[in-house]
Amino acid sequence: MSRKKIVVLDGYTLNPGDLCWDELGKLGDTVVYERTNQDQTFERVKDAHIVITNKVIIDRKLMSELTNLKYIGVLATGYNVVDTVAANDLGVIVTNIPAYSTESVAQMVFAHILNFTQRVGLHSDSVKSGDWVNSKDFMYSLTPQTELSGKVLGIIGFGKIGSAVARIGEAFDMDIIFNNRSKKHRLSGGKKQVELEEIFKSGDFISINCPLTDENAGFVNNSLLNLAKQSVFIVNTGRGPLLNETDVAEALNAGKIAGLGADVLSTEPPLPDNPLLTAKNCFITPHMAWATREARIRLMEIAVGNVRSFLNGNPVNVVS
């Protein structure tokens, strides 16, 4: 059987140089592009049997023009960049990468929480600038220091990532409440499933870990923010459009909420006028929660395994 042509459209974020594409190369004639603009896509994949994408959009029009295309592998858990209905109509298999970054994303949630409660970087910079050398006292603090024990951690979305966030919260002796679309049974410890409004009324910290749907886009808006404590700190590692960014920025600037930690924004890279970029007490990381080396190794292994299974006639992790 002739070797299949495999094209990776945007491989840089998965492998900026510290991993290897060799295992994928063993499965077919492989071409890896670090980045692909949308207007370059057709020319690069026109002869491909297998296309691997992370953020490059594969729509019905493009698929219908690719006569050799049989498989699309998405290098992420979310697969909204591919028109899966069109893929199904055209007989193209689409796969994703489930549950590769659970622990890494949960770790980032607490990186944001601990940044807010301790502000280690701010104080380190202060010390290096001479503030401690010139201090009259043996210690000082530029921001309030907050202990997590006994605080309420509200988690929105209680899948694998939300559950991992809860485990870490329990290790800090936090009280865990959560909201989830379906009822969760056999809960350990003192975790309680509550309504969304209760998360905002009671949460000292709120972690957003739910998937983005047509129904929940922009759900973090004034109606919920007005219920929240002024001391609440919100962390979003889900998807940027879950937040009404204008409402959240206004709440931050008005002191209605204490802070936001965001690893995702509505448009990525963000537009210069995104209101969160200049909002008070807003800490933004560039969609990097998933990208620990350990998580990327798992992602690469699963991606190669998905292609191998497809070529062997037994596709796995199919979403089309």
- Nearby residues of 285 by Cβ (< 8 Å), 6 or more positions away: 108, 111, 112, 261, 262, 263
Based on the residue annotation, tell me whether 43 is a catalytic residue of this protein.
no
CA 250-121-292 angle, 5° bins = 90
Order of all β-strands in the sheet with 152-156? 192-193, 175-179, 152-156, 205-208, 233-236, 259-262, 282-284
- Strand 192-193 to 205-208 pairing: unpaired
Based on the residue annotation, tell me whether 287 is a catalytic residue of this protein.
yes
Rounded to a whole number, what is the largest CA-CA distance in the chain?
Answer: 78
Separation between Cα atoms, residue 83 and residue 271, nearest integer Å: 25
The catalytically annotated residue of 49, 287, 296, 298 is 287
Return the closest-CA partner of residue 108 out of 238, 251, 267, 244.
238
Please check whether residue 294 is in contact with residue 100, taking contact to mean a CB–CB distance below 8 angstroms. no
For the chain, the first-to-last Cα distance in angstroms comes to 26
The catalytically annotated residue of 49, 112, 119, 239 is 239
Tokens 């295992």 sit on residue: 23
Concatenated DSSP letters of 109-164: HHHHHHHHHH-HHHHHHHHHTTTTTT-SSS---SS-----TT-EEEEE--SHHHHH
Please check whether residue 320 is in contact with residue 93, taking contact to mean a CB–CB distance below 8 angstroms. yes
Q: Which two tokens stand for residue 135?
A: 């201090």
- 3-state SS class at 313: coil
Please check whether residue 1 is in contact with residue 17, taking contact to mean a CB–CB distance below 8 angstroms. no
Based on the residue annotation, tell me whether 268 is a catalytic residue of this protein.
yes
Q: Which residues are catalytic?
A: 239, 268, 287
